[in-house]
Amino acid sequence: MDDLGRVYLVIAIVAFIVAMIGYWILSKKGPRGAVLGTAAMIYFAGMSLPPGNRRELHLIKGMLQLTGFAGGILGVVDIIFRRPQSQQAEYVAVELVNPGGSEKPPAMERCPRCNSFVARTSDGVCPSCRQSLNDRTVT
């Protein structure tokens, strides 16, 4: 392999790592299925490139297909294991009780049933499992 081939290899490895970081960020901040949709577009963009006899074109085509395929696997895993949006909304509502930070944050305690941290609210009910926090017996 010549020097230019090594440079192309380093560029390909860096591009793959950057793509995986991008998929991870999209998985955390984007809606459910966004990683799979983005990966499918990237994969089919690589498939649409014509086969050529230049190694630069092979590098671009191969990297698009590789990152699209790896992102597709991550996208399927993201869809299967991500919590539904309704459960995420409950946790966000609990976290945003004190957005300004000027007042003392609400007292947190553990739910005896699901062992998650819950802000002490006026109704005294865990939003995850609906266990009463006033009643210390596990139902």
Per-residue pLDDT reduced to its tens digit, 21-56: 999 999 988 888 899 999 999 999 999 988 878 888
Report the range of poorest mean pLDDT among 15-24, 74-83, 106-115, 117-126. 117-126
Specify the pTM: 0.57
- Say yes or no: 76 and 119 in one domain: no
| Residues 138 and 112 sit within 8 Å (Cβ to Cβ) | yes
Domain carrying residue 7: 3-81
Angle at the Cα of 30 (from 29 to 32), degrees rounded to 5? 125
Looking at 63, 81, 99, the residue that finishes a domain is 81
Domain identity same for 91 and 76? no
Say yes or no: 8 and 62 in one domain: yes
First to last CA, the chain: 67
Asked whether residue 90 falls in the same domain as residue 123, the answer is yes
